Amino acid sequence: MTVFLGLPRADPESHLHGAPFPQAARAAIADTQLRRNLGNATATIRAKRARVVGEVPDWAALRAAGAAIKDDTLARLPELLVQLEEAVTARGGTVHWARDATEANRIVTALVQATGADEVVKVKSMATQEIGLNEALEAAGIAAWETDLAELIVQLGHDTPSHILVPAIHRNRAEIREIFLREMGRVGLPAPADLTDSPPALADAARRHLRQKFLDARVAISGANFAVASTGTLSVVESEGNGRMCITLPRTLITVMGIEKLVPTWQDLEVFLQLLPRSSTGERMNPYTSMWSGAVEGQEFHLVLLDNGRTAVLSDPEGRAALRCIRCSACLNVCPVYERTGGHAYGSIYPGPIGAVLSPQMTGPSQNSTLPYASSLCGACYDACPVAIDIPSMLVHLRSQVPHPAAERAVMRSVAYAMGSPRRWAVALAVSKAGRLLGRRRGRLSTLPPPLSGWTSSRDLPLPPAESFRDWWTRTHGDGS
């Protein structure tokens, strides 16, 4: 008899967990600059997305098809991955498999070293952030240059990304100007001394800074938005042209892709090329999408297929639909919790509602026990999701799997005891009225004594009413006994 020990979770090196959410969120909420930047940015993107989604008469049918295609992919994942491998190999590419972050980093590092290059250009990629590839390359003496404008801002600012699509969403133009002036000269062409904080001037500084790196680079590393199993086609969806630069100019291209990024057929792209741009940047179509099948135009092509906890997500029938996610970030932009705390509070490179379900599943719930609570369960994320992931239900499901906080257990135990008899409940109500004294100045209770302080550390309690329903009934209808 064999004992089923469960499926391995994400590598401990991966960037999928941090400080507990309530602790990290408190710092973010106190940062008024951050809240202002986030409030402006999310309001802008919500309005744009709503407008372009409203233009599409068959959005509901596309969304249903997108969800079904991804579910179909997950149900047939082994055969489709093998089909992808055959198609890529037949077209001159090489496929590698990685169980976890450490293995993926080792494969990519060896591939770069084999070219003799000591620097690489990178297209923004969640998979390579998840595995900490830049740090692994640096340890091997290889410099990795991020070429997406937002990733460049994050890299030069010695910062971490706070949004799936717009990693520097927490920075405003004045902060970006400061970072460019201070840092660009240390790693390449400096920013012009008279740099203003107008977005076109900042974008132009990035263009000049990165131009030579693109023209000189011999190796590029990308992620993939979609891979077509039947044709071996990889695609990168982007806006700036940095993706095209990386994918086209260097002689060696290495793509790192999570095993769930597949679609079965070429035709399936007709669905996702409509769902993704409108959901993510709120555009009818993103400026550039590149597609290639195998090694093309004289390039050497390597594809690294990454597990790193994804099979653990797949093993939970109630949680596996999180692997439908196409990383559009629509759920972040509509989330009231994300809007106030920003992405850093989630501690994972996958923040927001989708991060609150994906991260604990990938790492195991004990590593990320607070994230299932980082939500108001309002359902806005489910409505916005272009592949209809029921994030609120998954969060509730995950809450049942993580250890409950001591404060919550204490509160629930006391409430259950008090409600167990009419007499005890009457006493409890009388006592609760005394609580009005504690918070009468501010109209709410923000600190209770231990162990209930664990509850009020992340919530305010409303004051108990001056008169309970029972007291009102007795006053207006008599005792009734």
Partner 1 sequence: MSSARDEVLGRIRRALADRPAPAEVRRDYRRTGELDRTALLDLLVDRLVDYKASVRRCAEPELAGTLVDALTERGAARVVVPPGLPWDLPGAVRDDDLTAAELDDLDGVVTACAVAVAETGTIVLDSSPDQGRRMITLVPDYHLCVVRADQVVQIVPEAVARLDPDRPLTWISGPSATSDIELNRVEGVHGPRTLEVVLVD
User: Considering only residues 309-328, where is the footprint of partner 1 by CB under 8 A?
Assistant: 311-312, 314-315, 317, 320
196 binds partner 1 (CB under 8 A): no
Contacts of 40 (CB under 8 A, 6+ apart): none
92 binds partner 1 (CB under 8 A): no
129 binds partner 1 (CB under 8 A): no
425 binds partner 1 (CB under 8 A): no
157 binds partner 1 (CB under 8 A): no
> Which residue of 307, 329, 349, 407 would you call a contact of partner 1, by CB under 8 A?
307
Tell me 346's DSSP state. Answer: G
Contact 232, 84 (CB under 8 A): yes
Least distance CB 39 / partner 1 (angstroms): 11
Ordered DSSP codes for 229-242: TTTTEEEEEESSSH
How far apart (Å, rounded) are the C-alpha atoms in residues 289 and 415?
A: 56
From 59-67, 354-362, 380-388, 447-455, span contacting partner 1 (CB under 8 A): 59-67
Q: For residue 141, give Cα distances in angstroms to 107, 131, 135, 254, 352.
A: 15, 17, 10, 18, 34
221 binds partner 1 (CB under 8 A): no
Least distance CB 230 / partner 1 (angstroms): 9
Pick the closer one to partner 1 by CB: 270 or 467.
Answer: 270
Contact characters 168-187, partner 1, x per CB under 8 A: xx--xx--x-----------
Looking up tokens 């990035």, which residue turns up? 206
How far apart (Å, rounded) are the C-alpha atoms in residues 438 and 446?
A: 9
Give the binding-site size for partner 1 (rule: CB under 8 A): 97
276 binds partner 1 (CB under 8 A): no
> Which residue of 14, 83, 222, 242 would you call a contact of partner 1, by CB under 8 A?
242
332 binds partner 1 (CB under 8 A): no
How far apart (Å, rounded) are the C-alpha atoms in residues 16 and 77?
A: 24
From 93-101, 130-138, 371-379, 414-422, span contacting partner 1 (CB under 8 A): 93-101
Of 241, 264, 313, 286, the residue nearest 66 (C-alpha): 264
Looking up tokens 């008090």, which residue turns up? 418
136 binds partner 1 (CB under 8 A): no
Looking up tokens 């999310």, which residue turns up? 42
Pick the closer one to partner 1 by CB: 252 or 311.
Answer: 311
In the window 64-83, what residues touch partner 1 (CB under 8 A)? 64-65, 67-69, 71-72, 74-78, 81-82
From 25-33, 184-192, 275-283, 410-418, span contacting partner 1 (CB under 8 A): 275-283
- Nearest 5°: CA angle at 115, between 110 and 118? 80
How far apart (Å, rounded) are the C-alpha atoms in residues 431 and 338?
A: 36
245 binds partner 1 (CB under 8 A): yes
Contact 79, 400 (CB under 8 A): no
How far apart (Å, rounded) are the C-alpha atoms in residues 143 and 46?
A: 36
> Which residue of 10, 21, 37, 84 would you call a contact of partner 1, by CB under 8 A?
37
